[in-house]
A and B are shown apart, each in its own frame.
Chain A
Amino acid sequence: MKVRPLGPILVAIAVPAALTFASTQKQLVYVDSVKNPRIKIVGKGGFWIPDDSFEFKGNVQVDHFVEKFKLTCEKAVGKFVTVANKTEIDKVSLTGGVHAVKSSDSIVLSADGNQADYNIEGDNRNLKLHGGVILDVKSSGKEPSAWHVTGASANVNMKKSGDFLNSAKLEGPLVFNGTQLKKVKDKQVETKFKVKAREMTYASRGESGNAEIRLSGDIEIVQQEGSDEASISGAELLVLELNQDRQIIKVRFSSGGGDRQIKTTVTKSGSGNA
Protein backbone atom coordinates (compact mmCIF):
# COMPACT_ATOMS: atom_id res chain seq x y z
CA MET A 1 0.00 0.00 0.00
CA LYS A 2 1.53 3.34 -1.08
CA VAL A 3 0.96 6.41 1.08
CA ARG A 4 1.65 9.99 -0.02
CA PRO A 5 0.72 13.37 1.50
CA LEU A 6 -2.07 15.18 -0.32
CA GLY A 7 -2.99 18.68 0.80
CA PRO A 8 -5.39 20.38 -1.64
CA ILE A 9 -7.81 17.44 -1.83
CA LEU A 10 -8.68 17.90 1.84
CA VAL A 11 -11.37 20.53 1.24
CA ALA A 12 -12.97 18.53 -1.52
CA ILE A 13 -13.39 15.36 0.51
CA ALA A 14 -14.27 17.10 3.75
CA VAL A 15 -17.60 18.33 2.37
CA PRO A 16 -20.03 15.47 1.97
CA ALA A 17 -21.76 15.47 -1.40
CA ALA A 18 -25.42 16.38 -1.09
CA LEU A 19 -27.91 14.06 -2.75
CA THR A 20 -30.24 15.87 -5.08
CA PHE A 21 -33.27 14.16 -6.58
CA ALA A 22 -34.78 15.27 -9.84
CA SER A 23 -38.20 14.29 -8.56
CA THR A 24 -39.56 12.64 -5.45
CA GLN A 25 -40.60 9.03 -5.70
CA LYS A 26 -42.65 8.46 -2.59
CA GLN A 27 -44.70 5.49 -3.75
CA LEU A 28 -43.74 1.86 -3.51
CA VAL A 29 -44.29 0.37 -6.96
CA TYR A 30 -44.05 -3.31 -7.88
CA VAL A 31 -44.27 -4.67 -11.42
CA ASP A 32 -43.73 -8.29 -12.35
CA SER A 33 -41.81 -7.19 -15.45
CA VAL A 34 -40.56 -3.80 -16.63
CA LYS A 35 -40.71 -4.66 -20.33
CA ASN A 36 -44.10 -6.35 -20.34
CA PRO A 37 -45.91 -5.74 -17.08
CA ARG A 38 -48.88 -8.01 -16.33
CA ILE A 39 -49.29 -7.09 -12.67
CA LYS A 40 -48.61 -3.77 -11.00
CA ILE A 41 -49.07 -2.93 -7.30
CA VAL A 42 -48.70 0.62 -5.97
CA GLY A 43 -48.94 1.92 -2.42
CA LYS A 44 -47.55 4.61 -0.14
CA GLY A 45 -45.50 1.99 1.71
CA GLY A 46 -45.10 -1.66 2.49
CA PHE A 47 -42.78 -4.56 1.83
CA TRP A 48 -42.03 -7.04 -0.92
CA ILE A 49 -40.53 -10.52 -0.59
CA PRO A 50 -39.67 -11.75 -4.09
CA ASP A 51 -41.37 -15.04 -5.06
CA ASP A 52 -43.15 -15.08 -1.72
CA SER A 53 -45.41 -12.31 -0.43
CA PHE A 54 -46.21 -8.61 -0.23
CA GLU A 55 -47.86 -5.98 1.92
CA PHE A 56 -48.83 -2.59 0.50
CA LYS A 57 -50.43 0.20 2.54
CA GLY A 58 -51.96 3.59 1.73
CA ASN A 59 -53.94 4.23 -1.47
CA VAL A 60 -53.15 0.77 -2.75
CA GLN A 61 -53.85 -0.02 -6.39
CA VAL A 62 -53.49 -3.48 -7.89
CA ASP A 63 -53.68 -3.78 -11.68
CA HIS A 64 -53.87 -7.08 -13.53
CA PHE A 65 -53.49 -5.85 -17.09
CA VAL A 66 -54.02 -9.21 -18.78
CA GLU A 67 -57.17 -10.08 -16.85
CA LYS A 68 -58.45 -6.48 -17.06
CA PHE A 69 -58.92 -6.45 -13.33
CA LYS A 70 -58.20 -3.58 -10.95
CA LEU A 71 -58.37 -3.37 -7.14
CA THR A 72 -58.05 -0.32 -4.92
CA CYS A 73 -58.03 -0.33 -1.12
CA GLU A 74 -56.11 0.95 1.91
CA LYS A 75 -54.13 -2.22 2.60
CA ALA A 76 -53.38 -5.37 0.59
CA VAL A 77 -51.51 -8.37 1.98
CA GLY A 78 -50.98 -11.42 -0.21
CA LYS A 79 -48.85 -14.14 -1.76
CA PHE A 80 -47.07 -14.51 -5.07
CA VAL A 81 -47.62 -17.82 -6.84
CA THR A 82 -46.47 -19.15 -10.20
CA VAL A 83 -49.20 -20.29 -12.58
CA ALA A 84 -48.14 -21.53 -16.03
CA ASN A 85 -44.72 -19.95 -15.51
CA LYS A 86 -46.29 -16.58 -14.78
CA THR A 87 -46.30 -14.68 -11.51
CA GLU A 88 -49.80 -14.28 -10.09
CA ILE A 89 -51.15 -12.88 -6.83
CA ASP A 90 -53.18 -15.15 -4.57
CA LYS A 91 -54.59 -15.27 -1.02
CA VAL A 92 -54.83 -11.49 -0.98
CA SER A 93 -56.50 -9.89 2.01
CA LEU A 94 -57.83 -6.41 1.21
CA THR A 95 -59.04 -3.90 3.77
CA GLY A 96 -60.36 -0.36 3.78
CA GLY A 97 -62.63 0.91 1.02
CA VAL A 98 -62.16 -2.05 -1.31
CA HIS A 99 -63.13 -1.27 -4.91
CA ALA A 100 -62.74 -3.91 -7.61
CA VAL A 101 -63.33 -3.40 -11.32
CA LYS A 102 -63.41 -6.20 -13.90
CA SER A 103 -63.85 -5.27 -17.56
CA SER A 104 -64.66 -7.19 -20.69
CA ASP A 105 -65.13 -5.71 -24.16
CA SER A 106 -68.51 -4.13 -23.45
CA ILE A 107 -69.28 -4.85 -19.80
CA VAL A 108 -67.81 -3.34 -16.65
CA LEU A 109 -68.38 -4.96 -13.26
CA SER A 110 -67.51 -3.02 -10.15
CA ALA A 111 -67.66 -4.44 -6.65
CA ASP A 112 -67.25 -2.50 -3.42
CA GLY A 113 -66.92 -3.53 0.22
CA ASN A 114 -65.09 -2.65 3.42
CA GLN A 115 -62.92 -5.74 3.22
CA ALA A 116 -62.32 -8.56 0.78
CA ASP A 117 -60.36 -11.74 0.07
CA TYR A 118 -59.07 -12.45 -3.42
CA ASN A 119 -58.10 -16.00 -4.40
CA ILE A 120 -57.23 -18.03 -7.46
CA GLU A 121 -59.61 -20.98 -7.94
CA GLY A 122 -58.54 -22.84 -11.07
CA ASP A 123 -59.50 -20.69 -14.05
CA ASN A 124 -61.64 -18.47 -11.86
CA ARG A 125 -60.76 -15.56 -9.63
CA ASN A 126 -62.79 -15.44 -6.46
CA LEU A 127 -63.54 -12.25 -4.56
CA LYS A 128 -65.33 -12.42 -1.22
CA LEU A 129 -66.52 -8.99 -0.10
CA HIS A 130 -67.88 -7.99 3.30
CA GLY A 131 -69.38 -4.89 4.82
CA GLY A 132 -71.58 -2.55 2.80
CA VAL A 133 -71.21 -4.50 -0.43
CA ILE A 134 -72.16 -2.95 -3.77
CA LEU A 135 -72.16 -4.84 -7.04
CA ASP A 136 -72.63 -2.72 -10.15
CA VAL A 137 -72.75 -3.85 -13.78
CA LYS A 138 -72.81 -1.53 -16.78
CA SER A 139 -73.05 -2.65 -20.36
CA SER A 140 -71.95 -0.35 -23.17
CA GLY A 141 -73.37 -2.47 -26.00
CA LYS A 142 -75.86 -1.38 -28.65
CA GLU A 143 -78.54 -1.13 -25.99
CA PRO A 144 -76.77 0.04 -22.84
CA SER A 145 -78.01 -1.45 -19.61
CA ALA A 146 -77.13 -1.41 -15.95
CA TRP A 147 -77.98 -3.14 -12.72
CA HIS A 148 -76.86 -2.41 -9.25
CA VAL A 149 -77.25 -4.31 -5.99
CA THR A 150 -76.32 -3.54 -2.39
CA GLY A 151 -75.99 -6.14 0.33
CA ALA A 152 -74.08 -7.30 3.38
CA SER A 153 -71.69 -9.75 1.69
CA ALA A 154 -70.84 -11.02 -1.78
CA ASN A 155 -69.01 -14.03 -3.15
CA VAL A 156 -68.01 -13.24 -6.73
CA ASN A 157 -66.42 -15.69 -9.18
CA MET A 158 -64.82 -14.01 -12.17
CA LYS A 159 -63.33 -15.74 -15.15
CA LYS A 160 -59.71 -14.79 -15.72
CA SER A 161 -60.55 -13.97 -19.34
CA GLY A 162 -63.59 -13.83 -21.58
CA ASP A 163 -66.87 -13.27 -19.77
CA PHE A 164 -66.49 -10.92 -16.86
CA LEU A 165 -68.57 -12.78 -14.32
CA ASN A 166 -69.05 -16.50 -13.82
CA SER A 167 -71.20 -16.58 -10.72
CA ALA A 168 -72.01 -14.50 -7.67
CA LYS A 169 -73.93 -14.85 -4.47
CA LEU A 170 -74.99 -11.91 -2.32
CA GLU A 171 -76.56 -12.00 1.09
CA GLY A 172 -78.54 -9.20 2.55
CA PRO A 173 -80.78 -7.63 3.31
CA LEU A 174 -80.18 -6.38 -0.20
CA VAL A 175 -81.62 -3.93 -2.69
CA PHE A 176 -81.48 -4.61 -6.40
CA ASN A 177 -81.97 -1.91 -9.03
CA GLY A 178 -82.14 -2.83 -12.68
CA THR A 179 -83.54 -1.71 -16.00
CA GLN A 180 -85.24 -3.85 -18.62
CA LEU A 181 -85.41 -2.61 -22.19
CA LYS A 182 -88.06 -4.11 -24.46
CA LYS A 183 -89.69 -3.24 -27.73
CA VAL A 184 -93.46 -2.75 -27.73
CA LYS A 185 -94.96 -1.97 -31.14
CA ASP A 186 -91.55 -0.88 -32.51
CA LYS A 187 -91.16 1.45 -29.59
CA GLN A 188 -88.52 0.88 -26.94
CA VAL A 189 -89.97 0.73 -23.46
CA GLU A 190 -87.85 1.03 -20.34
CA THR A 191 -88.93 -0.79 -17.18
CA LYS A 192 -87.15 -0.10 -13.94
CA PHE A 193 -87.07 -2.62 -11.09
CA LYS A 194 -86.31 -1.98 -7.47
CA VAL A 195 -86.29 -5.22 -5.49
CA LYS A 196 -85.74 -5.82 -1.80
CA ALA A 197 -84.69 -9.38 -0.96
CA ARG A 198 -82.57 -11.48 1.39
CA GLU A 199 -80.41 -13.32 -1.13
CA MET A 200 -79.27 -13.02 -4.74
CA THR A 201 -77.47 -15.43 -7.01
CA TYR A 202 -76.01 -14.73 -10.44
CA ALA A 203 -75.07 -17.61 -12.74
CA SER A 204 -73.86 -17.84 -16.33
CA ARG A 205 -76.00 -20.12 -18.45
CA GLY A 206 -73.25 -22.02 -20.24
CA GLU A 207 -73.16 -22.10 -24.05
CA SER A 208 -76.18 -19.85 -24.59
CA GLY A 209 -74.15 -16.96 -23.23
CA ASN A 210 -77.14 -15.85 -21.22
CA ALA A 211 -77.19 -15.45 -17.46
CA GLU A 212 -79.75 -15.51 -14.69
CA ILE A 213 -80.27 -13.50 -11.54
CA ARG A 214 -82.41 -15.10 -8.81
CA LEU A 215 -83.60 -12.94 -5.94
CA SER A 216 -85.28 -14.66 -3.01
CA GLY A 217 -86.54 -14.14 0.53
CA ASP A 218 -89.14 -11.57 1.63
CA ILE A 219 -89.28 -9.98 -1.79
CA GLU A 220 -90.76 -6.55 -2.38
CA ILE A 221 -90.76 -5.34 -5.97
CA VAL A 222 -91.39 -1.86 -7.30
CA GLN A 223 -91.75 -1.87 -11.08
CA GLN A 224 -91.81 1.45 -12.92
CA GLU A 225 -92.68 1.90 -16.58
CA GLY A 226 -93.16 5.44 -17.76
CA SER A 227 -95.52 7.09 -15.32
CA ASP A 228 -96.95 3.73 -14.17
CA GLU A 229 -95.70 2.13 -11.03
CA ALA A 230 -96.53 -1.32 -9.65
CA SER A 231 -95.72 -2.56 -6.16
CA ILE A 232 -95.58 -6.32 -5.86
CA SER A 233 -95.36 -8.13 -2.54
CA GLY A 234 -95.74 -11.74 -1.47
CA ALA A 235 -93.41 -13.21 -4.10
CA GLU A 236 -90.81 -15.68 -2.85
CA LEU A 237 -88.65 -15.78 -5.96
CA LEU A 238 -87.84 -13.31 -8.72
CA VAL A 239 -85.89 -14.55 -11.76
CA LEU A 240 -84.31 -12.10 -14.20
CA GLU A 241 -82.95 -13.55 -17.42
CA LEU A 242 -80.05 -11.66 -18.99
CA ASN A 243 -78.75 -11.80 -22.55
CA GLN A 244 -75.08 -11.82 -23.60
CA ASP A 245 -74.86 -8.06 -23.08
CA ARG A 246 -76.24 -8.67 -19.60
CA GLN A 247 -79.45 -6.81 -20.35
CA ILE A 248 -82.60 -7.98 -18.58
CA ILE A 249 -84.72 -9.70 -21.24
CA LYS A 250 -87.22 -11.65 -19.18
CA VAL A 251 -88.71 -11.28 -15.70
CA ARG A 252 -90.73 -13.87 -13.81
CA PHE A 253 -91.69 -14.27 -10.20
CA SER A 254 -93.48 -16.87 -8.14
CA SER A 255 -95.10 -17.14 -4.77
CA GLY A 256 -93.17 -20.28 -3.97
CA GLY A 257 -96.41 -22.22 -3.47
CA GLY A 258 -98.36 -22.73 -0.24
CA ASP A 259 -100.81 -20.14 0.94
CA ARG A 260 -98.64 -17.23 -0.09
CA GLN A 261 -100.41 -14.82 -2.42
CA ILE A 262 -98.82 -12.26 -4.66
CA LYS A 263 -100.38 -8.84 -4.24
CA THR A 264 -99.93 -6.15 -6.88
CA THR A 265 -100.76 -2.50 -6.41
CA VAL A 266 -100.63 -0.35 -9.53
CA THR A 267 -100.43 3.42 -9.31
CA LYS A 268 -100.28 6.15 -11.93
CA SER A 269 -97.73 8.76 -11.14
CA GLY A 270 -99.40 11.48 -9.12
CA SER A 271 -102.84 9.83 -9.31
CA GLY A 272 -102.80 7.60 -6.24
CA ASN A 273 -104.03 3.97 -6.21
CA ALA A 274 -105.55 2.71 -9.44
Chain B
Amino acid sequence: MMALALVGCSKGSSNPKPKETKKESAETKKPKDVAIAVSAAKNRRSNANHEPIWEIEWESANLGIQDGKQFGSMVKVKGTAFEKGEKSASFASDSAVADKFEEKLVLEGNVRVESDKSPKATMTAKKVEWLPNLKVFKASGDVTIESASGVVGPIDNLYADSKLHKVGTSLEYFKK
Protein backbone atom coordinates (compact mmCIF):
# COMPACT_ATOMS: atom_id res chain seq x y z
CA MET B 1 0.00 0.00 0.00
CA MET B 2 2.82 2.40 0.91
CA ALA B 3 4.62 1.61 -2.30
CA LEU B 4 1.55 2.62 -4.28
CA ALA B 5 1.13 5.77 -2.27
CA LEU B 6 4.66 7.08 -2.34
CA VAL B 7 4.33 9.99 -4.72
CA GLY B 8 4.78 13.69 -4.06
CA CYS B 9 7.27 16.41 -3.45
CA SER B 10 11.02 16.00 -3.31
CA LYS B 11 13.87 18.26 -2.29
CA GLY B 12 17.62 18.28 -2.12
CA SER B 13 18.31 17.85 -5.87
CA SER B 14 17.98 21.52 -6.95
CA ASN B 15 21.62 22.55 -6.19
CA PRO B 16 23.91 19.67 -7.13
CA LYS B 17 27.50 19.99 -5.96
CA PRO B 18 30.03 20.44 -8.81
CA LYS B 19 32.26 17.47 -7.81
CA GLU B 20 29.86 14.68 -7.03
CA THR B 21 30.48 11.00 -7.61
CA LYS B 22 28.11 8.75 -9.58
CA LYS B 23 26.78 7.23 -6.38
CA GLU B 24 26.10 10.62 -4.78
CA SER B 25 24.44 11.80 -7.92
CA ALA B 26 22.09 8.83 -7.92
CA GLU B 27 21.15 9.47 -4.29
CA THR B 28 20.41 13.13 -4.80
CA LYS B 29 18.24 12.33 -7.77
CA LYS B 30 16.24 9.83 -5.71
CA PRO B 31 13.32 11.54 -3.95
CA LYS B 32 14.42 11.94 -0.31
CA ASP B 33 11.43 13.38 1.50
CA VAL B 34 7.92 12.55 0.47
CA ALA B 35 4.63 12.98 2.26
CA ILE B 36 1.14 11.99 1.33
CA ALA B 37 -2.23 11.77 3.00
CA VAL B 38 -4.51 8.80 2.68
CA SER B 39 -8.22 8.77 3.46
CA ALA B 40 -10.06 6.16 5.53
CA ALA B 41 -9.04 2.61 4.89
CA LYS B 42 -8.52 -0.77 6.50
CA ASN B 43 -5.49 -3.02 6.62
CA ARG B 44 -4.75 -6.48 7.95
CA ARG B 45 -1.30 -7.86 8.75
CA SER B 46 -0.68 -11.61 8.72
CA ASN B 47 2.23 -13.73 9.80
CA ALA B 48 4.21 -16.25 7.76
CA ASN B 49 1.49 -18.85 8.37
CA HIS B 50 -1.07 -16.47 6.84
CA GLU B 51 -2.74 -16.05 10.24
CA PRO B 52 -3.91 -12.50 10.99
CA ILE B 53 -1.86 -10.77 13.71
CA TRP B 54 -3.66 -7.44 13.67
CA GLU B 55 -6.29 -5.61 11.72
CA ILE B 56 -6.67 -1.85 11.72
CA GLU B 57 -9.02 0.80 10.36
CA TRP B 58 -8.19 4.50 10.24
CA GLU B 59 -9.99 7.73 9.42
CA SER B 60 -6.93 9.20 7.72
CA ALA B 61 -3.26 8.36 7.35
CA ASN B 62 -0.05 10.26 6.69
CA LEU B 63 2.57 8.33 4.83
CA GLY B 64 6.00 9.43 3.77
CA ILE B 65 9.70 8.92 3.12
CA GLN B 66 12.38 10.80 4.98
CA ASP B 67 16.04 10.24 4.30
CA GLY B 68 15.07 7.29 2.20
CA LYS B 69 13.15 5.55 4.99
CA GLN B 70 9.46 4.82 4.78
CA PHE B 71 7.18 5.75 7.64
CA GLY B 72 3.55 6.38 8.22
CA SER B 73 1.01 7.13 10.90
CA MET B 74 -2.67 6.45 10.96
CA VAL B 75 -5.10 8.83 12.63
CA LYS B 76 -8.20 7.88 14.66
CA VAL B 77 -7.76 4.15 14.53
CA LYS B 78 -9.62 1.10 15.73
CA GLY B 79 -8.82 -2.52 15.19
CA THR B 80 -8.30 -6.03 16.45
CA ALA B 81 -5.35 -7.99 17.78
CA PHE B 82 -5.23 -11.70 16.98
CA GLU B 83 -3.56 -14.64 18.68
CA LYS B 84 -3.23 -17.90 16.76
CA GLY B 85 -5.62 -16.48 14.18
CA GLU B 86 -8.37 -15.78 16.73
CA LYS B 87 -9.56 -12.37 17.93
CA SER B 88 -8.09 -11.65 21.36
CA ALA B 89 -8.67 -7.93 21.90
CA SER B 90 -10.01 -4.84 20.17
CA PHE B 91 -8.36 -1.46 20.39
CA ALA B 92 -8.81 2.22 19.54
CA SER B 93 -6.50 5.23 19.76
CA ASP B 94 -5.85 8.72 18.41
CA SER B 95 -3.05 7.49 16.16
CA ALA B 96 -1.06 4.40 15.26
CA VAL B 97 2.20 3.50 13.59
CA ALA B 98 2.82 0.11 11.99
CA ASP B 99 6.33 -1.28 12.05
CA LYS B 100 6.37 -3.86 9.31
CA PHE B 101 9.91 -5.05 10.10
CA GLU B 102 9.16 -5.93 13.70
CA GLU B 103 5.50 -6.57 12.90
CA LYS B 104 4.55 -4.45 15.86
CA LEU B 105 1.78 -1.92 16.04
CA VAL B 106 2.22 1.21 18.14
CA LEU B 107 -0.93 2.97 19.35
CA GLU B 108 -0.71 6.46 20.84
CA GLY B 109 -3.07 8.90 22.48
CA ASN B 110 -6.16 7.83 24.46
CA VAL B 111 -5.41 4.19 23.84
CA ARG B 112 -8.16 1.77 24.85
CA VAL B 113 -7.81 -2.01 24.59
CA GLU B 114 -10.69 -4.35 25.40
CA SER B 115 -10.47 -8.11 25.77
CA ASP B 116 -12.80 -10.16 23.60
CA LYS B 117 -12.69 -13.20 25.87
CA SER B 118 -14.23 -13.57 29.34
CA PRO B 119 -13.37 -12.35 31.95
CA LYS B 120 -13.70 -9.02 30.19
CA ALA B 121 -11.11 -6.34 30.93
CA THR B 122 -10.30 -2.90 29.59
CA MET B 123 -6.87 -1.29 29.47
CA THR B 124 -6.32 2.44 28.96
CA ALA B 125 -2.94 4.13 28.45
CA LYS B 126 -1.16 6.93 26.63
CA LYS B 127 0.78 4.48 24.50
CA VAL B 128 0.42 0.77 23.77
CA GLU B 129 2.59 -1.45 21.57
CA TRP B 130 1.13 -4.74 20.33
CA LEU B 131 4.00 -7.22 20.04
CA PRO B 132 2.49 -10.14 18.10
CA ASN B 133 5.62 -12.29 18.29
CA LEU B 134 5.42 -12.24 22.10
CA LYS B 135 1.61 -11.99 22.12
CA VAL B 136 1.93 -9.15 24.60
CA PHE B 137 0.75 -5.55 24.88
CA LYS B 138 3.40 -3.16 26.23
CA ALA B 139 1.64 -0.15 27.70
CA SER B 140 3.02 3.12 29.07
CA GLY B 141 1.72 6.35 30.56
CA ASP B 142 -1.12 6.26 33.11
CA VAL B 143 -1.79 2.61 32.43
CA THR B 144 -4.96 1.27 34.05
CA ILE B 145 -6.60 -2.12 33.65
CA GLU B 146 -10.11 -2.67 34.90
CA SER B 147 -12.18 -5.83 35.13
CA ALA B 148 -15.25 -6.86 37.10
CA SER B 149 -13.04 -8.10 39.93
CA GLY B 150 -10.83 -5.05 40.30
CA VAL B 151 -8.54 -2.40 38.95
CA VAL B 152 -4.77 -2.21 38.55
CA GLY B 153 -3.05 1.13 38.08
CA PRO B 154 -2.47 3.84 37.22
CA ILE B 155 1.17 2.94 36.64
CA ASP B 156 3.85 4.18 34.24
CA ASN B 157 4.59 0.88 32.51
CA LEU B 158 2.75 -2.42 32.33
CA TYR B 159 2.59 -5.52 30.15
CA ALA B 160 -0.56 -7.50 29.39
CA ASP B 161 -1.23 -10.71 27.53
CA SER B 162 -3.29 -10.65 24.34
CA LYS B 163 -6.59 -11.29 26.17
CA LEU B 164 -5.80 -8.95 29.12
CA HIS B 165 -6.11 -12.02 31.35
CA LYS B 166 -2.71 -11.38 32.92
CA VAL B 167 -0.95 -8.08 33.56
CA GLY B 168 2.50 -7.56 35.03
CA THR B 169 5.32 -5.10 35.50
CA SER B 170 7.92 -7.24 33.73
CA LEU B 171 8.04 -9.11 30.44
CA GLU B 172 9.49 -12.04 32.41
CA TYR B 173 6.00 -12.87 33.69
CA PHE B 174 4.91 -13.65 30.13
CA LYS B 175 7.75 -15.92 29.07
CA LYS B 176 6.62 -19.53 29.08
Contact = CB atoms under 8 A, between A and B. Distances in A.
Interface of A: 1-7, 9-10, 13-14, 17, 19, 21, 24-34, 39, 44-51, 80, 87
Given A10-B35, A50-B121, A19 B126 contact: yes
Contacts of B127: 19
A7 to B, nearest CB: 5
B168 A9 contact: no
Given A9-B37, A13-B73, A21 B150 contact: no
A6 B37 contact: yes
A190 to B, nearest CB: 48
Interface string B123-134: 000110000000
A10 B33 contact: yes
B166 interface: yes
B38 A28 contact: no
B62 interface: yes
A251 to B, nearest CB: 48
B64 A10 contact: yes
Contacts of A27: 155
A48 B64 CA distance: 40
B155 A25 contact: yes
A48 B141 contact: no
Given A9-B62, A19-B126, A29-B153, 11 more contacts: A10-B33, A10-B35, A19-B140, A25-B153, A28-B152, A29-B152, A30-B152, A33-B151, A48-B150, A48-B152, A50-B149
A30 B9 contact: no
Nearest to B1: A1
Contacts of A46: 168-169
SS class of chain B's interface: helix, strand, loop or mixed? Answer: strand
B149 A1 contact: no
Given A19-B140, A21-B142, A26-B156, A47 B166 contact: yes
Contacts of A1: 1, 38-41
Contacts, number: 115
Contacts of B36: 3-6
B23 to A, nearest CB: 25
A13 B64 contact: yes
Interface of B: 1, 4-5, 7-9, 33-41, 62, 64, 66, 71, 73, 108, 119, 121, 126-127, 140-142, 145-156, 158, 165-170, 173
Contacts of A4: 36-37
A30 B141 contact: no
Nearest to A39: B150
A25 B166 CA distance: 19
A51 B147 contact: yes
Nearest to B37: A6
B9, B35, B71 pick with most chain A CB within 10 angstroms: B35
A25 B119 CA distance: 26
A249 B9 CA distance: 94
Given A28-B155, A46-B168, A80 B149 contact: yes
B156 to A, nearest CB: 5
A63 to B, nearest CB: 13
A6 B152 contact: no
A31 B150 contact: yes
Nearest to B170: A45
Contacts of A19: 126-127, 140-141
Contact of A30 (B37, B41, B71, B150): B150
Nearest to A43: B169
A28, A30, A31, A48 pick with most chain B CB within 10 angstroms: A48
B41 to A, nearest CB: 5
B34 to A, nearest CB: 8
A9 B38 CA distance: 12
